[in-house]
């Protein structure tokens, strides 16, 4: 059998070069609805299951790796899921330049690249500067939902979160288990299933904007 042909679905894919200024999600989705954002959408496992479970919510994903981005667009398009949009771009820069204040209800970050070498730690997405931006784009009462298998990165995440909590910007809250998580799973992504087979522990963190 031949390899499945990956198709493009313009109704799903957002071209980064077409985005100017702050985005209008009602234009992206063709309707006004609460927006949830995922950084590092991979093959779209979380987005597909969550969007199916919550059709009244708009889901916006950002993925940098072209291979995974194209696969996710194809997967979402084939399923005909109308409440997902996906863009291939650098997440930190795009958020800073294009996501409006108080426009995101929930921010999802699952198994981000841990950049394990110490000299690469500055590339980790979850840091003070990016948390400042997430705080800006979250609605009042908005949630950050995070999971990682990397203990050292989780230690950094916790330190960054505690600093923001100490500033009175966030409260720590229970992690919200996504709809696609099966028995024994925390999130239900491809990465988590791989890590479970390898015996790795998943660490979770959730924050609510004050």
* pLDDT bucket at 193, cuts 50 / 70 / 90: confident
Q: What is the pLDDT of residue 194?
A: 85
* pLDDT bucket at 63, cuts 50 / 70 / 90: very high
74 has catalytic annotation: no
Catalytic one among 24, 113, 132, 171? 113
Q: What is the pLDDT of residue 1?
A: 43
Distances (CA, A) of 87 to 20, 142, 157: 14, 22, 25
The predicted model scores a pTM of 0.94
Backbone torsion region of residue 70, taken as left when φ is above 0, otherwise alpha when ψ lies between -120 and 50, otherwise beta: alpha
Q: What is the pLDDT of residue 199?
A: 86
Beta bridge partner(s), residue 36:
59, 106
Domains and CATH numbers, the chain: 13-209 (3.40.50.150)
The first and second tokens of residue 193, run together, are 């299933």
Tokens 């597909």 -> residue: 48
pLDDT in tens, 35-44: 999 999 999 9
pLDDT in tens, 135-156: 999 999 999 999 999 999 999 9
Q: What is the pLDDT of residue 2?
A: 47
């Amino acid at each position: 059998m031949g390899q499945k042909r990956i198709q493009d679905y313009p109704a799903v894919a957002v071209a980064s070069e077409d985005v100017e200024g702050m985005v209008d999600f009602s234009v992206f989705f063709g309707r006004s609805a609460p927006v949830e954002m995922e950084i590092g959408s991979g093959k779209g496992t979380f987005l597909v299951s969550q969007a199916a479970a919550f059709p009244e919510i708009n889901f916006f994903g950002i993925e940098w790796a072209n291979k995974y981005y194209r696969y996710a667009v194809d997967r979402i398009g084939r399923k005909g899921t109308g409440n997902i949009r996906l863009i291939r771009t650098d997440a930190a820069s795009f958020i800073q330049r294009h996501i409006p204040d108080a426009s995101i209800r929930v921010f999802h970050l699952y198994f981000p690249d841990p950049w394990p070498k110490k000299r690469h730690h500055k590339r980790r997405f979850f840091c003070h500067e990016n948390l400042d931006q997430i705080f800006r784009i979250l609605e009042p009462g908005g949630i950050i939902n995070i999971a990682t298998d990397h203990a050292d990165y989780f230690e950094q995440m916790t330190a960054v979160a505690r600093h923001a909590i100490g500033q009175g910007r966030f409260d720590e809250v229970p992690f919200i288990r996504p709809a696609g998580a099966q028995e024994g799973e925390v999130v239900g992504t491809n990465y988590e299933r791989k890590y479970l087979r390898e015996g790795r522990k998943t660490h979770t963190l959730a924050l609510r904007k004050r």
